[in-house]
Structure 1
Amino acid sequence: MYHVYKYAVLFAASIILGFAFNMFLLPHEVLSGGVTGLAMILGLVSPLNSGIWLVVLNIPVFLIGLMRLGKEFIWNSVLSVFITSMSMQYIPILQVAADPLLSAVFGGIITGVGIGLIVRLNGSTGGADIIGLVVTQKHDIPLGALIFGINSTVVFISGFVFSWNLALLTMASIYITGVVIDRIHTRHIKLSLMVVTTKGEELKNELIGNLIRGITVMNGYGAYTNNENKVLYTVITRYELALVKHLIKNTDPKAFVSISETSEVFGNFRKS
């Protein structure tokens, strides 16, 4: 059932991207960034559609992703790029809004939603997404901010190809896209989890069996009740929080749980 949900969301998010490109960004020559932005530039200055360029330019980037991020990720990414490319072939290029600034803002928001959903489901739209995800495996950098930095190079290209007014609109659009991505893709956010429970062994086994995380177990006792407890401490990503809550409630509904955001983690912590 999960796979049906995942592919349905990937399909819908990829269509959303094609809609954002053809209805908001391309009509005003407001570009996306990175490989997608280059594909949009080439589509505007050559006979080939931007969707075709999107596939061609992503081939070498996908090879990098295959080596670093795995086969499932690449399959999801190829599927997403293919659906986006096909949607751009059939969705007409029309101006939804006459104001370029409004188009840049809403195009950036819609693009961010599409990319955020795709990345959250272990996929990408190719290009800077893959490069950004490879980097975030080793460094706790917000993905949207990293993609914005990579994509900013397209601003200078668009400035020379079109105009600097359009370049600034592009910068605004990809900045908004990056902000929206970071609202959806929250893997870089780390949470400290402390659980006080009378079922320490059972809960420890459940967490270890479902998470790739180390857990520190300490002895404790209630100051009021004097009952012996186990205190479990670990650090998780925000992505894992829903699963952890489910495991704790099923194992010990009466457990005391404290969750706080952690600004930085270093040492033996699995980031991917």
Structure 2
Amino acid sequence: MVKRILKIQDTAWVQRVTTMRLVKDVLFIGIGVVMASIGLKGFLLPNGFFDGGAMGMSLLLEMLTPLDLSLLIILVNLPFIYLGYRQLSTSFAIKSTLAILTLALLVHYIELPVITADKLLIAVFGGFFLGCGIGFAIRGGAVIDGTEVLAIQVSRKSSLTVGDFITVFNVCLFIVTAIFVNLETAMYSMLTYFSASRTVDFLINGVEEYIGVMIISEHSEDIKAKITYDLGRGVTAFKADGGFGEKAKNPDRNVLFCVVTRLEVTGVLTEITKIDPKAFVIQYPIKDTKGGMIKKRPLH
């Protein structure tokens, strides 16, 4: 299929890109598994704290049943891996399986000294290391906590969004923790989950939040020149028709689109207002970008 699309001399480049992507995936998954192991063995397990998601369920079952945690990590995540295989790809399922098996082996065999006895530090840094593990694994195209895979499946068949399902799932998990363990542990576990989720967001989305800006104006050429030459950002112009009133009679117009960071939005809006105070501007967040004039994010 690649040879049909690309020239024959381009196949070497395709192979190089594929190999580099595989190396990055293996590196990220390896780092993620090690970080998650540190979070579990160095912080959460010695102090009986939990996290949310599939990992939290494994930790809770480890306390309530005689089964070993390493085995529970595999058993709890198996259904999620199968869903990932059905929904996403075989590659995703294979990488996730290897990541979870490696994590289970590390949790079973490695021993780490207890780093701190302070419960607040345990919750925050345990969540941080676990979140790093989950985030790096996702960067490598795998999961070591499969709750999001289930959430995607549920969102396709119900009115719940992915975020809604994960929230409901974790609320139920923490209620069960409060009932069968104790309320204090459940509260500290909520803090662990919050720390982990914020860390995952940081690793996935980065520090900079990109904003897509769409501009509809009769002075689109002047605005495009200002953004391109004075602000140094790339702009794409779409041909569009007006949809209502007098503007609908003018089919020859451009709709501008550019991507900037959150810190640059104010400057862009100011320049637009200087040229056309009546310009219609739409802003929306963008999770990630690649290519163009946007610099490449680290870890991507």
The TM-score range, normalised by the shorter chain, is: 0.5 to 0.7
Query: Cα gap change, 1:67/1:49 in structure 2, threshold over 3 Å: closer, same or farther?
Result: same
**What residue in structure 2 maps to residue 16 of structure 1?**
35
> 1:47-75: per-residue Cα shift (whole Å, max 9, x none)?
33211111112222222222212222222
For 1:217, the aligned partner's letter is F
Query: Cα gap change, 1:15/1:155 in structure 2, threshold over 3 Å: closer, same or farther?
Result: same
Q: Give structure 1 stretches of 5+ with no counterpart.
A: 198-214, 220-229, 250-272
Decide whether the 8 Å contact of 1:148 with 1:174 is kept in 2.
no
Q: 2:177 aligns with which of 133, 158, 170?
A: 158
* TM-score with structure 1 setting the length: 0.67
> 1:84-136: per-residue Cα shift (whole Å, max 9, x none)?
11110122264211112210111111111211222233221233132245568
Q: 2:212 aligns with which of 192, 216, 241?
A: 192
Query: Cα gap change, 1:172/1:240 in structure 2, threshold over 3 Å: closer, same or farther?
Result: closer
1:94-243, aligned counterparts within 5 Å? Answer: 94-134=113-153, 147-186=166-205, 191-192=211-212, 217-218=238-239, 233=257, 238=286, 240-243=288-291
CA-atom RMSD in angstroms: 3.7
Decide whether the 8 Å contact of 1:15 with 1:83 is kept in 2.
no
**What residue in structure 2 maps to residue 211 of structure 1?**
none
Query: Cα gap change, 1:31/1:93 in structure 2, threshold over 3 Å: closer, same or farther?
Result: farther
Decide whether the 8 Å contact of 2:148 with 2:162 is kept in 1.
no
> 1:184-226: per-residue Cα shift (whole Å, max 9, x none)?
2239x774267959xxxxxxxxxxxxxxxxx86349xxxxxxx
Q: Give structure 2 stretches of 5+ with no counterpart.
A: 1-19, 215-222, 226-235, 241-253, 260-283
* TM-score with structure 2 setting the length: 0.62
For 2:193, the aligned partner's letter is I
Tell me the SS of whatever aligns to 2:144: coil
Distance in 1 (CA, whole Å) between partners of 2:114 and 2:98 is 27
